[in-house]
Chains A and B, each alone.
Chain A
């Protein structure tokens, strides 16, 4: 723990807090400034049967009769104390609504992440040990195929094949083991493609290095070369890729949960979208930003400890170049 590291950590922490606050304000501005008025579209909708007095009560309770800046101030100061406000539709605290469904989405996201890592490392391992004439090209095509497939198509394919044809699970029991397993595959596959692309590019880059040639000339087997030499340097940037894309799991849960009929954050978003329940949407989007910022903070703080080659320099860090490339899916080997 050098002094430079602590300064860097403090600075990074400050940045994280600022980004979270700005993300909250940004979301607030998007949902309140853009056209589309929840009061007329939802509360005055005759289907909902609110009386004028009830509407006035809801408006007063939500503070919707006040200027936008005042609303923002109230909302932001409540957010800072951990109060996410009240749902406009169900008149229950937003925090309770989220807490009810959070565990389901966490299970989905974490098993999806596990599936993604397993698939990515398996495919990447294959590209290094499978000879060219036995289908290495096929393995290399997997990431781009997975990146080009909408994840609802993957989900529907799995449901059709394993649910309808093979009857491995029942679609009406979305929380059963197999249903969760296939939902995790659905959410994990596009994610695995992103990890695999970076991993394969890094492995290829490492395999061209002199030290790898030396190891090969001493007669090392491809499997051992992969495990003892290539894997470690190639896998480190994967930490960055995961950190940058993990927030997307929350967004993608929207589609996966719809396809599999699960309840979770995604289905809560969908319900809130259709009822224009802005406080819930505001809270979930901010939650997404908080998760992203925290995960990246952890990754940034871990990185100099994991990789001694990374020197902390004042100003922008070296890691960012790798992170940018990873986020863009650029091949590391192709860069000058």
Chain B
């Protein structure tokens, strides 16, 4: 069986690419994510304006060639603010997912692999995390930690632990029952060896699309926390914060719709990639 599923030699790069089954929407989604990542890595390359200092004479001007998303109430270029806000809006979602995957994955791995009382203890803990509404959980954690975007990310990450723990546990249990794991036990593999060499890689494969999905959701949750003012204060420009500022200027609706559209397109792309990963793996 493994002979067939290994990479077939002699496949040209083009054919390999075709076998990945990338549809136009998936390609577009990757493009969107690439742009957002580029925004967060080097925002100064994408805009000549300052994200903090505005030109008061230009305040609240409509979208134009000079100001793609218009300007805000202080005359700052909104496109520039969105570009500079990408770093904290998107990388904080990454922090959240990493926290969720590492802690949740570890809990799931241990409780799925060892079973018994380890499983019972962790299962109760996960039940408790699941019982508390996720957004409320994030709000109280960020309240306890202090209002900063990084704390909002940590809070969001904690609220996703239960999700990853459950997925990891069920994947580990599935893998543990596989014949090759049994064979490895018979060949004298130690528990630790089997856990790291066989169970972890196989169980983590199906975690990837879910981690990507959760990445998109974390962007939304962190935007929600920023919207409520639980992220970095102005003049930082998290997308949620930009929308929150914009809502006081609804007569100039681009102040809401431009950052909102960027957020929606980003999350849509992330979700599309997650769906594609799930189908193709």
Q: What is A's interface to B at a CB cutoff of 8 Å?
A: 15, 18-20, 22-23, 26-27, 30-31, 34-36, 144-145, 147-153, 156-157, 159-160, 164, 247-248, 250-252, 254-255, 258-259, 269-270, 273, 276, 281, 284-285, 288-289, 292-293, 324, 327-330, 334
- Give the distance in Å from the alpha carbon of A26 to the alpha carbon of B128 in the complex: 8
- Give the distance in Å from the alpha carbon of A19 to the alpha carbon of B128 in the complex: 6
- Give the distance in Å from the alpha carbon of A26 to the alpha carbon of B170 in the complex: 24
Q: Does B128 lie within 8 Å of A276, measured CB to CB?
A: no
Min C-beta distance of A138 to chain B, whole Å: 14
Min C-beta distance of B22 to chain A, whole Å: 18
9 contacts between A and B (CB under 8 A): A19-B128, A23-B128, A30-B141, A152-B243, A160-B256, A247-B131, A285-B133, A288-B132, A292-B131
Min C-beta distance of B46 to chain A, whole Å: 23
Binds A, one of B67-75, B142-150, B175-183: B142-150
Q: Does B271 lie within 8 Å of A36, measured CB to CB?
A: no
Complex: chain A residue closest to B217, CB-CB: A147
Min C-beta distance of B194 to chain A, whole Å: 24
Contact A22:B256 (CB < 8 A) given known A36-B146, A150-B227, A251-B133: no
- Give the distance in Å from the alpha carbon of A288 to the alpha carbon of B230 in the complex: 20
Is B31 in the interface zone, CB < 8 Å from A?
Answer: no
Is B139 in the interface zone, CB < 8 Å from A?
Answer: yes
Q: Does A281 lie within 8 Å of B143, measured CB to CB?
A: yes
In the complex, chain B residues whose CB is within 8 Å of the CB of A328: 163, 167, 210
- Give the distance in Å from the alpha carbon of A15 to the alpha carbon of B126 in the complex: 13
Q: Give the interface SS of chain A, mostly helix, strand, loop or mixed.
A: helix
Q: Could you tell me how many residues of chain B have their Cβ less than 8 Å away from some Cβ of chain A?
A: 53
Q: Does B128 lie within 8 Å of A148, measured CB to CB?
A: no
Is B140 in the interface zone, CB < 8 Å from A?
Answer: yes
Min C-beta distance of B210 to chain A, whole Å: 7
In the complex, chain B residues whose CB is within 8 Å of the CB of A281: 140, 143
Q: Does A19 lie within 8 Å of B140, measured CB to CB?
A: no
Q: Does B145 lie within 8 Å of A34, measured CB to CB?
A: yes
Contact with A along B252-275 (1 / 0, CB 8 A): 010011001001100110011001
